[in-house]
Amino acid sequence: LELDRLSVDLSISRWPLRTTLNILSDITLTLARDETVGLVGESGSGKTTLGRALLGLQHISAGTVRFDGTPLKTAADFDRIRPRTALMFQDAVASLSPRMTVGEAVTEPFRIHNRPMPDWRARAAELLEEVGLPADMASRYPHELSGGQARRAGVARALALKPDLVIADEPTAGLDVSVQAEILNLMADLKDRYGLSYMVITHNLALVRHVADRIAVMYLGRLVETGPTAEVFSNPAHPYTGSLIAAEPKPDPRKRRTDLAIKGEIPSLIRRPSGCEFHGRCPLATARCRTEAPALRDIAPGRKARCHFAETYQKQGA
Ligand code: SF4
């Protein structure tokens, strides 16, 4: 999957507001076969909108999405590749129709895409067993499942057509820690078995550290840092990434870097800050940052950052 300078605008015409908001801007990112990219950022950073845009569920204002080298320009282009992509929804229970049994829900992709399915009950049983659920769960309704079971059923549904690309939106949200680990192990196992590529959308850095080969950090609809996960965690190049890492819970709270703590709230898209949009919250901001917008630039092989002082920040060993 290749995203080249992708932008998404949204028109708002609700009194007293009549304006166009730039929700995503200039997103350039690739996802290789068999790779997992973790897309992180606070609520309102545009992560979910990006996930929807690259599946054709959100109108793209500018830029291109390429899948297997083919540009996707029209709704028909996205429809054509849809069976090869899947979205794992954040709210697993709500994503399963309350009127369908679990068996009907996990086999629904076959019906939607007119795929032959001689015996749907047998297919449902296979899919459920593949994700570690008993075959007889096919006759239950979503409200009868626990959070972990519903999440597994969501995985079974997403993987029914053996897609190449899975967008997983907060795949472990709302689950107990032990169930989170089970779901992550299941996702890793299915990735190895089918050579899947995952884009994992989350604000949970521990999750990204555990599953992602590369990380992409978003702030106010723009990418501010991308790179191999281990390198970014050990030596972040953007102060926002450094602040997110510093905010992670630590086994020893005395080791927490309070000097890097992120200040204030994410600004409104209606009034984007001038210059570097992070300057109001950045511990390193200078006068230049308030007027001059930094570009996302190469700072090392395979690494990019959108900060005038990325190299200095790295040298300081944040
Ligand atoms: Fe902070 Fe300036 Fe870098 Fe923006 S450009 S992240 S304000 S140091």
- Segment 35-86, tens digit of pLDDT: 999 999 988 889 989 988 988 888 999 999 999 999 999 999 999 999 899 9
pLDDT digits (tens, 9 = 90+) for 289-315: 999 999 999 999 999 999 999 999 998
CA of 169 to the centre of ligand 1 (A): 28
Q: What separation in Å is there between the alpha carbon of 89 and the centre of ligand 1?
A: 34
Beta bridge mates, 201: 39, 169
Q: If you take atom 4 of ligand 1, which residue's CA is the nearest one?
A: 276
User: What spacing in Å lies between the alpha carbon of 152 and ligand 1's midpoint?
Assistant: 41
pLDDT band of residue 253 (cuts 50, 70, 90) is low
**At residue 259, does pLDDT exceed 80?**
no
pLDDT at 152: 92
Closest ligand 1 atom, CA of 310? 3
Distance 222 CA to ligand 1 centre (A): 14
| CA of 294 relative to ligand 1 center, distance in Å | 8
Please tell me the distance from the alpha carbon of residue 154 to that of residue 96, in angstroms, as a whole number. Answer: 7
Nearest CA to ligand 1 atom 7: 279
Q: What is the distance between the alpha carbons of residues 224 and 259, in angstroms, rounded to a whole number?
A: 20
Is 271 a residue whose pLDDT tops 80?
yes
| Mean of pLDDT values over 204-210 | 90
255 CA to middle of ligand 1, Å?
Answer: 24
Minimum-distance ligand 1 atom for the alpha carbon of 283: 1
Report all structural domains of the chain as residue ranges with CATH numbers, in order of start: 2-212 (3.40.50.300), 234-318 (no CATH)
Phi, psi (5° rounding) for residue 37?
A: -110, 130
| Best of 244, 266, 306, 308 for a ligand 1 pocket test (most atoms within 8 Å of beta carbon) | 308
Mutate to test the pocket of ligand 1, among 284, 291, 297, 304 (most ligand atoms within 8 A of CB): 284
Q: Ligand 1: which residues within 6 Å by Cβ?
A: 238-239, 276, 278-279, 282, 284-285, 289, 294, 307-309
What is the C-alpha separation between 214 and 223, in angstroms, rounded?
A: 13
Q: Which atom of ligand 1 sits closest to the CA of residue 282?
A: 1
Mutating to test ligand 1, I would choose from 260, 307, 312, 316 the residue with most ligand atoms within 8 A of its C-beta, which is: 307
Q: Which residues contact 25 (CB under 8 A, 6 or more apart)?
A: 7, 221, 222
Q: What is the ipTM of this complex?
A: 0.99
Average pLDDT across the chain, whole number: 90
**284: CA distance to ligand 1 center in Å?**
6
Atom of ligand 1 minimally distant from the CA of 239: 6
Report CA(62)–ligand 1 centroid distance (Å): 26
Of the candidate ranges 57-61, 86-90, 157-161, 217-221, the one whose mean pLDDT is the lowest: 86-90
Tell me how far the alpha carbon of residue 282 lies from the centroid of ligand 1, in angstroms: 6
